[in-house]
Amino acid sequence: MKHLKTLRVRFTLWTAIWLLLVLSLSEAFVYINFAREQAQSIDDALRLTAAQVLLDIDDEMLLLEHANTVASSILRDQFSIQIVDLAGETRQRYGLYQDLLPPHRIAAIPDQTGIFTTVIDPASQHSIRVYTVPIVEEERTLGLLQVAQSLLVLQQALNQLLTTLLIAGPIVIILAGIGGYILAARALTPIDQITRTAARISVEDLSARLDLPSTADEVGRLAATFDTMLARLEDGWRRERQFIADASHELRTPLTTMQTILSSTLARQRPPAEYEKALGDLAEETDRMKLLAEGLLLLARNDTYRAAAYQSVDFSTLLQDVTDSLSPLTADKNIALTCRVPPNLSLNGDHDGLIRMFVNLLGNAIKYTEQGQITIFLKRQTDQFIEVALADTGMGIAAEHLPYIFDRFYRVETSRTTAGTGLGLAIALSIAKAHGGTISVESEIGKGSVFLVSLTRRQ
Ligand code: ATP
Ligand code: MG
């Protein structure tokens, strides 16, 4: 029963049922047409023979002239004939079925075209076709001519045709069914493979692939999509694991430092100044841990951002506010910080998230620039999106690091001297993505960097 539910069996059954219908209809059509044509040709032959015989009838005598030759040719073709006079008396008859020809009365003959009747031979039970025409001389009806032939040959031909059709039909259906089953089985093999692979896959091992030869058909596309989906899942899963490993490692570093400070300070009695320094160091490490924990929390939250919480944001004011609040950081440096964004730019988004993104980007620009300019400017805007650039004349980023700076915890070696967790850009990018946008970067070492933020307006 379970087998019946497989797609290949159902496909085969439907093919067979459909074929049965089509074949039955077309076979019935062939049979009926053949029967009609054959009956017609027998009637035509009877009419022709009657016409020939009529020519040989002596009108006065109502008898066949050259009776022997005519009769033998008629008999050879298995016709029977009978000539009847106006009184209904048989004048002459030849052939196998002469006794069967029904005694027609003159009045029963409607016109000169004659009539056809079919009678049954009681001895053999065969049907016999009879054609009756009047014998007419100068518009006078003298008698009747009847020509008959057995329908046995036609019946046999029809029976043979019926047998052939009844045998051929099921054979064709069985062959088509087998063919359909093999085709369906072939086409569906990859699906079975997909099922087995899917059953084998677990979260721990996403490495299984179908690796089927690529075909352009539906199943081929499904298999290819399945493989790319697995690749994406595996990639995501690997990154997730890497993130957890990195996060725990990053959290362990300040904890280890704190443990070291605590155990070495507690090892013996110390003057108050040393305790004070130790507490200061501990406070620094707790700050670092707090930053890390906050950063991780933000990333986790951004992954599940809800567009429903978005509100209309005055983007121009937001950028100016971020610039103003960070400008004290440039106090010790020789940097000209400017925000050149036209007023009344607006978009739909998360106000706090956007502030955090630009604080991270501008914070980096200030952190990694010693002198020169930092400029925020509007690059492009359409009805759909806004592009804002942050350009600095700082240390720049080497090409080999560029692909990784948005990764969580990634910091370029040279910037290790500055404080940081390496989460800033990852957070900024996740906020941009949550706003249907992205961040790209162009940078040259020693010359500076340009971060380009593009956001959709969702209005
Ligand atoms: P934090 O998490 O505190 O922001 P971070 O600034 O080191 O730490 P990210 O903001 O993610 O981390 O930046 C990653 C790395 O990219 C930085 O360590 C730095 O090497 C490089 N970087 C980012 N912005 C700039 C910039 N404007 N100029 C030069 N290097 C940059
Ligand atoms: Mg940063």
* pLDDT value of position 316: 95
Give me the pLDDT at residue 416, please: 67
Q: Which two tokens stand for residue 116?
A: 């056809």
Contacts of 397 (CB under 8 A, 6+ apart): 405, 412, 441, 443, 445, 449
Q: What is the pLDDT of residues 169-182, one digit of tens each?
A: 999 999 999 998 99
Cα-to-centroid distance, 428 and ligand 1 (Å)? 11
Question: Is 302 within 8 Å of 430 (Cβ atoms)?
Answer: yes
Instruction: Note the pLDDT of residue 307.
Output: 54
Q: What is the pTM of this model?
A: 0.57
- Of the ranges 8-22, 96-110, 182-196, 416-430, which one carries the lowest mean pLDDT score? 96-110
List all residues 6 or more positions away from 322 whose beta carbon is below 8 Å from its beta carbon: 355, 358, 359, 362
> 370 CA to middle of ligand 1, Å?
14
Bridge partners (DSSP) listed for residue 148: 80, 130
Average pLDDT for the chain: 87
Q: Which helix or strand (DSSP H or E) is residue 108 part of?
A: none
Q: Atom 20 of ligand 1 has which residue's CA nearest to it?
A: 412
Indicate which ligand has the atom closest to the C-alpha of 420. 1
* 128 C-beta closer than 6 A to ligand 1: no
- Compute, in angstroms, the gap from residue 360 CA to the centroid of ligand 2: 5
- 405 CA distance to ligand 2 centroid (A)? 10
Identify the helix (H) or strand (E) that includes residue 109: none
Yes or no: say if 309 and 350 are a contact pair by the CB < 8 Å rule.
yes
Ligand 1 proximity of 392 Cβ (cutoff 6 Å): yes
Supply 449's token pair.
């960097």
Q: Which long-range contacts (CB under 8 A, 24 or more apart) does 62-65 make?
A: 62/91, 62/92, 62/135, 62/142, 62/143, 63/91, 63/92, 64/92
**Can you give the pLDDT at residue 379?**
95
Tell me the C-alpha distance between 226 and 201, whole Å. 12
User: By mean pLDDT, which of 69-73, 76-80, 414-418 is the weakest?
Assistant: 414-418
Of 117, 119, 115, 113, nearest to 97 by C-alpha is 119
| pLDDT exceeds cutoff 70 at 305 | no
* 405 ligand 1 Cβ < 6 A: yes
Which tokens in the block code for residue 356?
């955090």
Give 107-132 pLDDT, tens digit per residue.
Answer: 566 577 788 888 888 877 888 898 98
Q: What was the pLDDT predicted at 83?
A: 86
**Cβ contacts of 247-255, under 8 Å, gap ≥ 24:** 247/292, 247/296, 247/408, 247/409, 250/292, 250/409, 250/421, 250/422, 251/289, 251/292, 251/293, 254/285, 254/286, 254/288, 254/289, 254/292, 255/289
pLDDT digits (tens, 9 = 90+) for 251-270: 888 899 999 999 999 999 99
Q: Is 425 in the pocket of ligand 1 (CB under 6 A)?
A: yes
Residue 382 has pLDDT above 60, yes or no: yes
What is the distance in A from the centroid of ligand 2 to the CA of 365?
8
Q: Where are the alpha helices (DSSP H) in 267-379?
A: 272-302, 315-326, 351-367
Question: Which protein residue has the closest C-alpha to ligand 1 atom 5?
Answer: 422
pLDDT at 105: 57
Closest CA to 193 of 183, 181, 182, 185: 185
**pLDDT grade, residue 2 (50/70/90)?**
low
Nearest ligand, CA 390: 1
- pLDDT above 90: residue 76: no
Mean local confidence (pLDDT), 321-347: 92
User: Mean pLDDT throughout 181-192?
Assistant: 86
Question: Is the pLDDT score of 72 beyond 90?
Answer: no
